[in-house]
Amino acid sequence: MLGYMYILCATTVRLLHNEGRGNAMKAIGYARVSTDGQVVEGVSLEAQQARIRAWCEVNGFELVSLHVDAGFSGCRSDNRPGLQEALLVACKNKAALVVYSLSRLARSTKDAIAISERLAKSGADLVSLSERIDTTSAAGKMIFRMLAVLAEFERDQIAERTKGALSHMRTQGKRISGRIPYGYDLSPDGHTLVPSLAEQEGLRFMLAHSAAGNGRRKIAAALTAKNFSTKTGAPWSPQAVGSILRRENISRPIAAHDAA
């Protein structure tokens, strides 16, 4: 359904055209991948840059510069040097900021709209190739906002499904990360977690003290006094205690056969 709405919205938006823009139309390109974005999303920096260059050539735009953020998350826009430079140059030249897709530009509706409005105030435009969006018309602005909301909705759905899947894996005693959680050891199959008798005792100790109203700092000191070892052998800290308590209280009850 979401894919259909994307297509429906995208087909209603007119493409940027040459009429009334003279012969000096300028474009600023921007590409981004997060740390694992190239692998997960399959859109490399090189592929994004190639699409941007091709669009500029076909539509008669002069590509003034192309800016890149490699290894940056799209959750925030203010901490990406490549994006900030691209926006600065686009606004200065009243150019079109060209991106491969909205997800490369921003992950939140708030940021995407703020970027669009900043460009508009300077007489610059926004072009997203995947969604075929431009912001040179009222209809284009409306569709942009709709797609920005849909993109954020889709991201939230993925996060929700991932959280649910991880929670289910925890209840099944499955390993979900590179770290083995305190209270458990890895079984020979390399996937299933099995209770560690010594660490399960430490978990019961933590939960009992927490239920009694003791704070994380006091619990950490008590664990040290009782000679309970951390998983890594490092000293107990309030942060480590808090992390373990949140995990255990929320999603992974202490093994029934180890309960006192």
Q: Which is higher by pLDDT, 245 or 159?
A: 245
pTM above 0.85, yes or no: no
**Residue 34 annotated in active site:** yes
Of the listed 34, 101, 196, 210, which one is catalytic? 34
Query: Phi and psi at residue 69, in whole multiples of 5°?
Result: -120, 105
Q: State the SS3 of 20-75.
A: CCCCCCEEEEEEEECCCHHHHHCCCHHHHHHHHHHHHHHHCCEEEEEEEEECCCCC
Collapsed DSSP state (helix, strand, coil) of residue 133: strand
Please answer whether residues 122 and 97 qualify as being in contact, where contact means their C-beta atoms are separated by less than 8 angstroms.
no
Contacts of 5 (CB under 8 A, 6+ apart): 150
pLDDT digits (tens, 9 = 90+) for 207-219: 898 888 888 999 9
- CATH 3.40.50.1390 domain residues, the chain: 2-158
Topology adopted by domain 2-158: Rossmann fold (3.40.50)
pLDDT digits (tens, 9 = 90+) for 23-52: 558 999 999 988 654 544 557 899 999 999
